[in-house]
A and B are shown apart, each in its own frame.
Chain A
Amino acid sequence: RKEVEQDPGPFNVPEGATVAFNCTYSNSASQSFFWYRQDCRKEPKLLMSVYSSGNEDGRFTAQLNRASQYISLLIRDSKLSDSATYLCVVTPGGFKTIFGAGTRLFVKA
């Protein structure tokens, strides 16, 4: 089993749609969680951290479920500019950081 697993997609959604991604992790002692976005042939960029109580940043909502060991990202009112690959990132502890393989999102006009 991979340490961090994501549905690779692609997710094809129309503009204005709501889309949700899940990511599962295997190490129950994991401490820190993030979502990154990566555009084609560019570097990953931090989208948001994920906190135990859940957090929201504009159209984006991230949640953590420690009992079931998954994190989620919800995007409301999708824009064309949201088209990218979304990487789930988990830090089990210490310096180790595990990147998921990413979920591709295409938002269509």
Chain B
Amino acid sequence: DVKVTQSSRYLVKRTGEKVFLECVQDMDHENMFWYRQDPGLGLRLIYFSYDVKMKEKGDIPEGYSVSREKKERFSLILESASTNQTSMYLCASSLTGRNQPQHFGDGTRLSIL
């Protein structure tokens, strides 16, 4: 079974802090993704990466950055946290190719006070 592990289930931070969310997958997947999920808005893609040191902006990259120094690890960084970044953050990974589904981590529920 694919295992995608996110570093924290719940996190509380203050406005203006720099926040790091970590994600590790153990299946040698090329692709990794960061989403946020908010009530009524569904899943929205923040950033994705298709290889080490490669990254692409998703639909809502503003206020976020990412890092992929190793194939198994994909980090999401909130440069200066704001209250509108309070959300559920989901990391996913997949193989490249057709009919390759994404596999999700448990999610991090982040609250910015």
Given A42-B106, A43-B90, A43-B105, do A100 and B99 touch, yes or no (CB 8 Å)?
Answer: no
The verdict on A16 contacting chain B, using a C-beta distance below 8 Å, is no
Given A31-B98, A49-B99, A101-B42, do A95 and B106 touch, yes or no (CB 8 Å)?
Answer: no
Given A32-B98, A44-B90, do A102 and B42 touch, yes or no (CB 8 Å)?
Answer: yes
Q: Restricting to B35-67, which residues have a CB under 8 Å from any CB of A?
A: 40-43, 45, 48, 50, 56
Neighbour of B104 across the interface among A34, A44, A102, CB < 8 A: A44
Neighbour of B100 across the interface among A32, A45, A100, A101, CB < 8 A: A32
Whether the Cβ atoms of A97 and B104 lie closer than 8 Å is no
Whether the Cβ atoms of A46 and B100 lie closer than 8 Å is no
Whose C-beta in chain B lies nearest to the C-beta of A96?
B45
Chain B residue contacts of A51, Cβ below 8 A: 99
Chain A nearest CB, measured from B72 CB (Å): 18
Whether the Cβ atoms of B48 and A43 lie closer than 8 Å is no
Whose C-beta in chain A lies nearest to the C-beta of B33?
A97
A41 to B38, CA, bound (A): 11
Interface size on A, residues (CB 8 A): 20
Chain A residue contacts of B103, Cβ below 8 A: 46
Chain A nearest CB, measured from B4 CB (Å): 9
Whose C-beta in chain A lies nearest to the C-beta of B40?
A101
Chain B residue contacts of A31, Cβ below 8 A: 98-99
Interface size on B, residues (CB 8 A): 23
Whether the Cβ atoms of A95 and B50 lie closer than 8 Å is yes
Chain A nearest CB, measured from B2 CB (Å): 9
Chain B nearest CB, measured from A53 CB (Å): 13
In the assembled complex, 11 residue pairs joining A and B whose CB atoms fall closer than 8 Å, in A order, are A31-B99, A32-B100, A42-B107, A44-B90, A49-B101, A51-B99, A95-B48, A97-B102, A99-B42, A100-B42, A102-B42
User: 8 additional contacts, CB 8 Å, given A41-B109, A97-B45?
Assistant: A31-B99, A32-B98, A43-B105, A44-B104, A51-B99, A91-B98, A100-B42, A101-B41
- Chain B residues within 8 Å of A, Cβ to Cβ: 31, 33, 40-43, 45, 48, 50, 56, 88, 90, 98-107, 109
